[in-house]
Amino acid sequence: MVKIQRLVIQGFKSFKRKVSIPLPTGFSVVTGPNGSGKSNLSDAISFVLGRTSSRTLRAKRTHELIFHGSKKKSGSDFAKVAIYFDNSKKILPLEDESVSISRRINKKGVSTYRLNGKVITRQQVIDIFSQAGIHPDGHNIIQQGDVNQIVEMDAVERREIIDEISGIAEYDEKKRKAEKELEQIDVRIREAEILLQEKYQVIEKLRKERDAALRYKKFDKELKDVRAALLWKDFSGTKRGLGNAAEKLEEKEKLMEKLEKDIKDYDDKIAKEEKKLDGLTKQVFKASEQIDVSNRITKLRSELEIKQDKIGSNRREIDRLQSLIERVSQLDTKISPAFKSVENLRGVFGTVSNLINVPAEYRTAVEVAGGGHLNDIVVDTTTNTIKCVKYLKAKKIGRARFLPLDRVRSEKKPLPTGAIKWLSELITHESRYGPVMNYIFGSTALVKNADRAGEIAKRQRVRMVTPDGDLFEASGAITGGFYRKRGAGALNEINKYLEDKKKLEKEIDSLHIQIRDINEDLEILAEKEKRTKTADLEKERIRLDESLYRLREKRKEVYERRVELQQDISKLNIQKAKLEAKSEDLKFQWGEKDEIEDDIQDYINMSVAKLKELETNAIEGIQTLGPVNMKALEEFEMIKTEFEDFREKVDKIVDEKNSIMDTVKKIEKKRKETFIHTMSSIANHFREVYLELTEGEAGLELEDPENLESGLLIKAQPPGKKLLHIDSMSGGEKTLTAFAFLFAVQRHKPTPFYILDEADATLDRENTKRVVNLIKKQSNLAQFIVISHNDTLVREADQIYGVSMEDGESKIFGIELPQAEKMIEKEKQKNN
């Protein structure tokens, strides 16, 4: 407990000189005559504790607190009061064990507070003392005449005393501060809400624009995606188409190759078959020819027969001619028997006349010119000639001139001018006889007539003959005249027969040859006829023909297919080229993208019709939107962020407000708890103390128990009396009740000291005793400084101070009880 050790007063009110009053613990009584300055001591304590109200310090103005002097004493320049506390228990929040607190006031009314000599502010003083429950206007200082105040005061004021005691003022202060903060916050919130509203309007406008932009973006994206999907579908479709076309093309080209091969195979087959057919045809043709052959055979055979017949007839004719020749020859003597005998020897050709043919007009000339040579025998070689000569000799047949072809030579001379030709040139014979004929006829020229011959003869020596038979020898001899054709008839006849015979023989030879040929032909034909069976061949030929027809048909079919295929291939190539071009174009449009975005994938799964519908919808959607502010997207986000930030700030402020409100609630709760605790504690003590003081019953209660702001009612019932209303209480009863309240408060929360300025004034001796006993009891817990004229009370005090006034200046001094009693008695008498 903080205790007042000493009170030092200087220049304060009636105390001019510095006076130091020790105040030991316990129960001190101050007594003295009226107006001596007792109450000024109480004022001095209130003054130093920081009381400011001049009125409660019983001065009109502050400077009146300074000793103003008297007739004999001069006034002071300042007033100063100091209290020395024992702070050994460190109740005051200071390190010092002894704490001095002083207040000095000058004439200007300026106060200076010091703590242990150091200037501090009044608030610091108040704060320090409040720690010990000491307040400048505390209920522990009961000024003169104020004791019943607690009973008489307004119930609400009284309740405010409980408030003060319970310390809820602290809460009130906090609450007030919080509420002030709340007000400020409310202002901030209101301002913020206005701003928020403005921003909200901006943001709402932007939101609409942004929504439009988003819708536009959505439509645009959808449009792009849908178009990409369509493009992709087109692209992939084209690619697929291209693949299919290429595949088909490949297929068709393969087929084409096959067809070409087939055609070639067919061509080969056809060529083969044709060749076969051709061969067969030829065979058939030949075979058909064979029919002719048969006919021919028949014909040839009949021809053969005819020819053989002819040969027979020719032979017979030859025989007849031979007999004729022989017969004629027998008649013609000129025909040498020698010739006849050698005629059939080897190498003998015949007589010259037999071997030449002479035109009729030159016959005479030839006979004349030839003369004896006409019977010369022409033989092939000299050897054979010698054989003939030997034969004639041996047979003794006769003589003959022989002309061996290998020996006889002649020279060719130039034809005399005017001659027709050499005779040799006018006759005809086999060429091999040329040398012989030339020898005989080559040097004799045919001339037109004898005259001409005569002319020529004049010029040159040359043998000449005329057609009439005039012969001009080279020697000059001329043989002429009428020429009788010597034996000409027979020779000619023979020659004719010989010729005919020769012809017939020739014909026979020819016929033999023909027969041989025919026979050969017949042999071949017969062979052919044997080899071939025409009907089978024809059948085969027909079969081949049919097969060929079928082959050609097939080839035609294949060829037509090939043509069709070619057309298909052309079409496919065109289609492929178109698709390639389209694909290239689409690829260009599609770009380098390899992967299809997921968004597009969804669209790709849709049908083209659906995609077209979506495309139309998107386009219409975009058109419906009209002009769109795309910046709204960014702006909105920006403003929204700002807005959100701002709203967050506002929310924080609101949170702050809520937190403060929460705090206020807590404060209120705490305040209520504290109040109720204090209230009930004091009420209990009040009942006890009242019982001790009066043996009656008393209580404290709120006018409205639910309302802590309501007034505090004191209910007292002195023993044997009914419950008294305050107004109906006697002064003493009121004072007792007030004391009960004072002590109840002290018991609840004792303050270090109590100053009671004549609080016992209205009490009778009995009640004073009760009060004194209680003070004594309570003085264990606190210092009691009691100003009193009551001897009952003085008698019980631990120490007594006497106050007197001399020349307007108060003096104080410690006195012993008898002196005090005397002093009191003296005063009583003075008052009486």
Q: Are 67 and 37 in contact (CB under 8 A)?
A: no
Q: Is 10 in the site for ligand ATP (CB under 6 A)?
A: no
Q: How far is CA 314 from each of CA 233, 308, 496, rounded to the nearest angstrom?
A: 109, 9, 15
Min separation Cβ 28 and ligand ATP, Å: 16
The CA distance from 228 to 678, in Å, is: 84
Among 3, 4, 9, 13, binds ligand ATP (CB under 6 A): 13
Q: Which does 589 bind (CB under 5 to 8 A by kind): ligand ATP, Mg ion, none?
A: none
Q: Is 762 in the site for ligand ATP (CB under 6 A)?
A: no
Min separation Cβ 759 and Mg ion, Å: 11
629 to 658, contacts with ligand ATP by CB under 6 A?
none
Min separation Cβ 750 and Mg ion, Å: 25
CA trace torsion 315, 320, 323, 324 (10° rounding): -130
Helices first, then strands: H and E counts in the chain: 20, 24
| DSSP run (H or E) holding 3 | strand 3-10
Residue closer to Mg ion (CB basis): 33 or 442: 33
Among 5, 14, 140, 746, binds ligand ATP (CB under 6 A): 14
Q: Which does 32 bind (CB under 5 to 8 A by kind): ligand ATP, Mg ion, none?
A: ligand ATP
The CA distance from 41 to 24, in Å, is: 16
Among 32, 136, 696, 752, binds ligand ATP (CB under 6 A): 32
Min separation Cβ 788 and ligand ATP, Å: 10
Q: Which residue matches tokens 């504690």? A: 681
Among 34-42, 195-203, 442-450, 735-743, which window interacts with ligand ATP (CB under 6 A)?
Answer: 34-42
Please give the structure tokens belonging to residue 223: 């449009």
Min separation Cβ 755 and ligand ATP, Å: 13
Q: Residue 431 gets which letter from DSSP?
A: G
Q: Which does 35 bind (CB under 5 to 8 A by kind): ligand ATP, Mg ion, none?
A: ligand ATP
Min separation Cβ 39 and Mg ion, Å: 3
Q: Are 801 and 30 in contact (CB under 8 A)?
A: yes
Q: Going by C-beta distance under 8 Å and a sequence separation of 6 or more, which residues neighbour residue 21?
A: 6, 7, 8, 9, 41, 801, 812
Q: Which residue matches tokens 């609409």? A: 208
Q: How far is CA 22 from each of CA 39, 67, 441, rounded to the nearest angstrom?
A: 17, 22, 226
Min separation Cβ 723 and ligand ATP, Å: 34
For residue 31, the SS3 value is strand
What is the per-residue binding string for ligand ATP in 47-76, x denoting contact by CB under 6 A?
A: -----------------x--xx--------
Among 38-46, 119-127, 501-509, 537-545, which window interacts with ligand ATP (CB under 6 A)?
Answer: 38-46
**Interface residues with Mg ion (CB under 5 A)?**
38-39, 144
Q: Which does 5 bind (CB under 5 to 8 A by kind): ligand ATP, Mg ion, none?
A: none
- Bridge-based pairing state of the strands 753-757 and 141-142: parallel
Q: Which does 13 bind (CB under 5 to 8 A by kind): ligand ATP, Mg ion, none?
A: ligand ATP
The CA distance from 664 to 64, in Å, is: 43
The CA distance from 50 to 207, in Å, is: 65
Q: Which does 40 bind (CB under 5 to 8 A by kind): ligand ATP, Mg ion, none?
A: ligand ATP
Residue positions counted in the chain = 832
Min separation Cβ 790 and ligand ATP, Å: 12
With 0-12 / 13-18 / 19 or more C-beta atoms within 10 angstroms meaning exposed / middle / buried, residue 667 is buried
Among 32-40, 238-246, 312-320, 691-699, which window interacts with ligand ATP (CB under 6 A)?
Answer: 32-40
What is the per-residue binding string for ligand ATP in 141-170, x denoting contact by CB under 6 A?
A: ---x--------------------------
Q: Is 37 in the site for ligand ATP (CB under 6 A)?
A: yes
Beta-strand ranges (E) seen in 460-588 are 463-465, 471-472, 478-479
The CA distance from 223 to 211, in Å, is: 17
What is the per-residue binding string for ligand ATP in 104-143, x denoting contact by CB under 6 A?
A: ----------------------------------------
Min separation Cβ 5 and Mg ion, Å: 24
Q: Which does 68 bind (CB under 5 to 8 A by kind): Mg ion, ligand ATP, none?
A: ligand ATP
Among 30-38, 272-280, 301-309, 371-379, which window interacts with ligand ATP (CB under 6 A)?
Answer: 30-38
801 to 820, contacts with ligand ATP by CB under 6 A?
808
Q: Is 265 in the site for ligand ATP (CB under 6 A)?
A: no
How are strands ordered across the β-sheet holding 348-351? 348-351, 377-379, 402-404
Shortest Cβ contact with ligand ATP: which residue? 34
Beta-strand ranges (E) seen in 528-662 are none
Q: Is 39 in the site for ligand ATP (CB under 6 A)?
A: yes
For residue 269, the SS3 value is helix
The CA distance from 368 to 465, in Å, is: 8
Min separation Cβ 79 and Mg ion, Å: 18
Residue closer to ligand ATP (CB basis): 36 or 768: 36
Min separation Cβ 2 and ligand ATP, Å: 26
Of residues 277, 816, 330, the one with CA closest to residue 542: 277
Q: Going by C-beta distance under 8 Å and a sequence separation of 6 or more, which residues neighbour residue 477?
A: none
Please give the structure tokens belonging to residue 811: 């003096």
Residue closer to Mg ion (CB basis): 100 or 144: 144
Min separation Cβ 803 and ligand ATP, Å: 6
Min separation Cβ 144 and ligand ATP, Å: 6
Of residues 523, 546, 542, 522, the one with CA closest to residue 534: 542
Among 28-36, 174-182, 289-297, 689-697, which window interacts with ligand ATP (CB under 6 A)?
Answer: 28-36
Among 29-37, 127-135, 152-160, 200-208, which window interacts with ligand ATP (CB under 6 A)?
Answer: 29-37
With 0-12 / 13-18 / 19 or more C-beta atoms within 10 angstroms meaning exposed / middle / buried, residue 397 is middle
Residue closer to ligand ATP (CB basis): 678 or 762: 762
Q: 103 phi and psi, to 5 degrees?
A: -130, 130
Residue closer to ligand ATP (CB basis): 58 or 747: 58
Shortest Cβ contact with Mg ion: which residue? 39
Among 4, 21, 38, 504, binds ligand ATP (CB under 6 A): 38
User: Which residues are 813's β-sheet partners?
Assistant: 802
Among 36, 351, 354, 735, binds ligand ATP (CB under 6 A): 36
Q: Are 135 and 129 in contact (CB under 8 A)?
A: yes
- Bridge-based pairing state of the strands 78-86 and 98-106: antiparallel
Q: Residue 217 gets which letter from DSSP?
A: H
Min separation Cβ 78 and ligand ATP, Å: 12
Q: Which does 438 bind (CB under 5 to 8 A by kind): ligand ATP, Mg ion, none?
A: none
Residue closer to ligand ATP (CB basis): 67 or 801: 67
Please give the structure tokens belonging to residue 824: 């009191």
Min separation Cβ 732 and ligand ATP, Å: 19
Residue closer to ligand ATP (CB basis): 560 or 807: 807
HSE of 403, CA atoms in CB hemisphere, 13 A: 25
For residue 724, the SS3 value is strand
- Bridge-based pairing state of the strands 377-379 and 419-422: unpaired
Please give the structure tokens belonging to residue 336: 């040498």
Applying CB under 6 A, the residues found at the interface with ligand ATP are 13-14, 32, 34-40, 64, 67-68, 144, 808
